[in-house]
Amino acid sequence: MSPLALLFLTLFNSVLGLSILFPILGPLSRELGLSEVQVGLFSTGYALMQFLLSPYWGRRSERGRKPVLLVGILGFAASFLLFGLFALLGQRGILPASALFPLLLLSRLLGGAFSSATLPTAQAYVADVTGREGRTAGMALLGAAFGLAVILGPALGAGLAALFGLLAPVFFSAGIALLNALFVHLVLPESRPQGKREAGRLSPFDPRVFPLLLLGFALNLSSVALEQTIAFYFQDRLGLSGVETARRVGLALVLYGLAAVFIQGFLVRKLSWPPRTLLFLGIPAGALGFLVLAGAKSFPLLTLGLVLQGAGAALAGPGVTAGLSLAVGEGEQGLVAGLNSSAQALGRMLGPVLGTGLYRLFPEAPYLLGAGLLLLSLASLPFLLRRVRL
């Protein structure tokens, strides 16, 4: 099996362990007596640590990719094990309510700190094992691993919770991470030549990378704002009950994820389009999806808008990641991957607050914001890419 295929399995296992928790965090938190704001702080704190530490891990990986991947995966496993133990103690009344939330938040902060090592190192690994002509396809494969795990993880988490209780997916995620670390240790080869020193610094305002970092932030911010509000939007637009909302949104999100996996796992790799082409195709497709969502009043149109937005993001995402990799030299791959992960984390940190805040003003606002950001990005693309040779 090629190093790229092995890396696909590594990233798939990592994201699967995270996405398993998506369906159970809400009900588990309510069972523990936590508020919605406290639950939101789990995600915000996780993204904050990724924003702060991704550049460090990317720079550190220049000494060797495999050790940083192992640290990230093992730290992720430890954080989920702590989260599960603290929650179990809270369920049984051993931990007082005043101590439960700070300890759970601490475990999530640790998870964000260590998981921030995984994605930038994986992106740098792809740059190590692919030539310039195969870079875009390699980065798209990482996106496909991410998308496939996000499709399968929630279903697995819901099944485990139904069979064994709400804490079962938490401990299962920790177990997957430990097995993943063993897999990396035994099977995944090191891609960075031995004896390389840690690289210097790469400023996010470097003209080679700043335009693409800005594009990546805009794409992530708009996508996360959508993800945080789409269930509310389906329910309000279609007048659904809670159970029916979950069913309809679940079906739409499966189609959304399948479109992204097909585009990144097959189409981008098959056609070998350069990053510039992916950006000029993906950004308008995403903007069109947001506009369809803003005007849709039926389930088919809402689903169409969601799938179009997902397809656009699936095209533009590898365009940004591969473009950043191609814009810098061999010794800067970890640095630029860290900056890219940090920009994405900033979008994940601000997206929920901005999306839900705008939704309270009027329901179409998050999607009009997404369309506006992407159309502005499209209009600015020739200027932004003027100094980036793609």
pLDDT single digits (tens) 162-190:
888 889 989 999 999 999 999 999 999 99
Predicted structure pTM score? 0.85
Integer angstrom CA distances of residue 102 from 99, 153, 240, 348: 6, 27, 36, 22
Query: How confident is the model over 26-49, as a mean pLDDT?
Result: 83
Query: How confident is the model over 243-261, as a mean pLDDT?
Result: 83
Banded pLDDT at 199 (limits 50, 70, 90):
low
Banded pLDDT at 43 (limits 50, 70, 90):
confident
**CB distance 308 to 292 below 8 Å:** yes
The amino acid sitting at 200 is G
User: Which residues lie closer than 8 Å to 326 by C-beta, 6 or more apart?
Assistant: 132, 135, 275, 389, 390
d(CA 40, CA 53): 20
The tokens for 270 are: 């098959």
Q: Evaluate if residue 103 carries a pLDDT over 80.
A: yes
Query: How confident is the model over 68-78, as a mean pLDDT?
Result: 94
Please give the domain boundaries of the chain with CATH numbers for all domains. 3-186 (1.20.1250.20), 210-384 (1.20.1250.20)
What is the 3-class SS of the chain, one letter each residue? CCHHHHHHHHHHHHHHHHHCCCCCHHHHHHHCCCCHHHHHHHHHHHHHHHHHHHHHHHHHHHHCHHHHHHHHHHHHHHHHHHHHHHHHHHHCCCCCHHHHHHHHHHHHHHHHHHHCCHHHHHHHHHHHHCCHHHHHHHHHHHHHHHHHHHHHHHHHHHHHHHHHCCCHHHHHHHHHHHHHHHHHHHCCCCCCCCCCCCCCCCCCCCCCCHHHHHHHHHHHHHHHHHHHHHHHHHHHHHCCCHHHHHHHHHHHHHHHHHHHHHHHHHHHHHHCCCHHHHHHHHHHHHHHHHHHHHHCCCHHHHHHHHHHHHHHHHHHHHHHHHHHHHHCCHHHHHHHHHHHHHHHHHHHHHHHHHHHHHHHHCCCHHHHHHHHHHHHHHHHHHHHCCCCCC
d(CA 123, CA 136): 11
d(CA 51, CA 57): 11
**Counting beta carbons within 10 angstroms of the beta carbon of residue 313, is it exposed (0 to 12), middle (13 to 18) or buried (19 or more)?**
buried
User: Which residues lie closer than 8 Å to 323 by C-beta, 6 or more apart?
Assistant: 212, 275, 276, 279, 388, 390
Question: 119-155 pLDDT, tens per residue?
Answer: 999 999 999 998 888 888 889 888 888 888 888 888 8
Q: Evaluate if residue 197 carries a pLDDT over 70.
A: no
Angle between helices 275-295 and 210-238 (to 10 degrees): 20
In the chain, % of residues over pLDDT 90: 48
Instruction: Report which of residues 247 and 261 the model is more confident about.
Output: 261
The tokens for 57 are: 């891990």
Buried-exposed string 45-80: b where 16+ CB fall within 10 A, e elsewhere: bbbbbbbebbbebbbbbbbbbbbbbbbbbbbbbbbb
